[in-house]
Homo-oligomer: A and B are copies of this chain.
Amino acid sequence: METYKFDKSYEWFERACKVIPGGVIGHKHPAFTVPGSYPYFASRGEGSHYWDPDGNEFIDWMCGFGPMVLGYNNPVVDAAAQEQAKLGDGMSHPGPISIEYAEMMVKLTKGMDWCVYGKNGADITTWCMRLAREYTGRKKILIVRGAYHGAQAWSTPSYGGIIDEDRTHVHFFEWNNLDSFMELINTYKGQVAGVMMTPYHHCIYADQQMPAPGWWETIGKVCKQEDLILISDDVRAGFRLDMAGSHAYFGYEPDLVCYSKAIANTYPISAGLGTSKLKETAEHVLFTGTFFSSMVPMAASIATVKELKRLDGVNYMMKIGKALCDGLVSVGKSNGFEIIMSGPYDIPFMRFAREKNFMLKQLFSGEAAIRGVIFHPHHNWFTSCAHTEEDVKKSLEVADIAFKKVKDKYGSD
């Protein structure tokens, strides 16, 4: 099998570095994958595939880091967006579509009574934190160590540009560790405004952790007892576990739910939903931005929800994800490797059982990328409704070669 070259990507990257700090900003920076074995830019997408500037074609198990659920350039979603674009997008008022959108999201999401719309996931998570503070009159927010709630100063996983005061009242507990949670609850009795958590723990550089039996039940009970606002950050998992919200999937009852990513199949929108007790407070915590009421992404989101329902999308993404995950474990085993797949089938994270430093995983992922299959070495992957059994078959064939390359260099288990 011919392997890919990335000459044009590197040429673009050299140009990029002259005018963009690091050449690519944020989580899509090449240093986060395996520099030298990955494309650095995407030129075109279609369904579950994309093409880089060198003309190489890839099966994309990253789905744009989540937002693509129905395939790049999905004709149904794009047609709905175009229809709205003919009328208008960003104007001096919201459109009636903002109401249809909120009505749809409220009806869709279990236990929620109202909806606001923004651009970034972090617009919503940050506002929800402030809403919890305003409602309770208390300052402290509890979050899980290693959880990602956006790159704002209070929650960024990076170190630059943070001052102590950004986190004076943000406290960390460990996922699935009730003692660490209760220690904060007891230490800061009467001072805690809310708890922000993802539905399951999708950390990076480590196995994902599903909720232990009773975990959510206890969290919910304590939040009710202590009158804390429970915020479900469903930005990453939303629409891949349950269309009614990942809290419906795991059976907990949040006061606020944060959505973005998958809800509009790559169109830029985020949404926050809440229960009626917080509605009046929500009016008093100013939430605004020039593009928050843009109408085209709302039309795209409405179409995305319809399509996901029509296709039974969550089940399909789970099914195709299971085929990929089971296949990787099996192909890994046939090459002498124990492979750990963690997290939901459609948001999976892969690890070689014997390693903790990702040398094997990086080699594996790089060898797959130069053969047209995008597995991320350090971040969870995503499946979509556009991924086919043929994609899985091709991906496993490439994985087989990649496992052999790892065996050649590092030996099997």
Contacts and interface: CB of A to CB of B under 8 A. Distances in A.
Contacts of A293: 24-26, 28
A89 B73 CA distance: 8
Taking chain A's interface residues, is the majority helix, strand, or loop, or is none over half, making it mixed?
A: loop
A283 B22 contact: yes
Given A151-B289, A161-B134, A290-B67, A41 B94 contact: yes
Nearest to A116: B25
B126 A123 contact: no
Contact of A93 (B41, B106, B161): B41
A50 interface: yes
A152 interface: yes
Contact of A87 (B40, B45, B261): B45
Given A45-B91, A67-B290, A115 B19 contact: yes
Contact of A290 (B15, B64, B85, B160): B64
A290 B96 contact: no
B25 A287 contact: yes
Contacts of A92: 28, 42, 50, 60, 62-65, 374
Contacts of A163: 133, 139, 169
B161 A127 contact: yes
Given A92-B62, A93-B28, A98 B20 contact: yes
Interface in A41-84: 41-45, 50, 52-53, 60, 62-68, 72-73, 78
A20 B116 contact: yes
Contact of A162 (B130, B150, B158): B130
* Centre residue among A60, A66, A85, A89 by max chain B CB count within 10 A: A89
Given A130-B160, A289-B150, A99 B16 contact: yes
Contacts of A152: 126, 152
Given A161-B285, A169-B163, A286-B157, A94 B42 contact: yes
Contact of A26 (B67, B102, B289): B289
A291 interface: yes
Nearest to A30: B93
A280 interface: yes
Interface string A143-169: 000000011110011111111011011
Contacts of A114: 19-21
Contact of A64 (B91, B106, B268): B91
Contact of A281 (B45, B78, B91, B160): B160
A327 interface: no
Nearest to A99: B16
A197 to B, nearest CB: 19
Interface string A100-125: 00110010000001111101111100
A409 interface: no
Nearest to A235: B290
Interface in A181-223: none
Q: Which 3 A-B pairs have the closest CB atoms?
A: A26-B288, A130-B161, A158-B286
Interface of A: 12, 15-16, 19-22, 24-28, 39-45, 50, 52-53, 60, 62-68, 72-73, 78, 85-96, 98-99, 102-103, 106, 113-117, 119-123, 126-127, 129-131, 133-134, 139, 150-153, 156-163, 165-166, 168-169, 260-261, 266-268, 274, 279-294, 297, 374
20 contacts: A12-B96, A19-B102, A21-B280, A24-B94, A24-B98, A28-B92, A28-B93, A43-B87, A44-B88, A50-B91, A64-B290, A78-B85, A90-B266, A91-B266, A119-B289, A120-B120, A120-B291, A129-B161, A133-B161, A158-B285
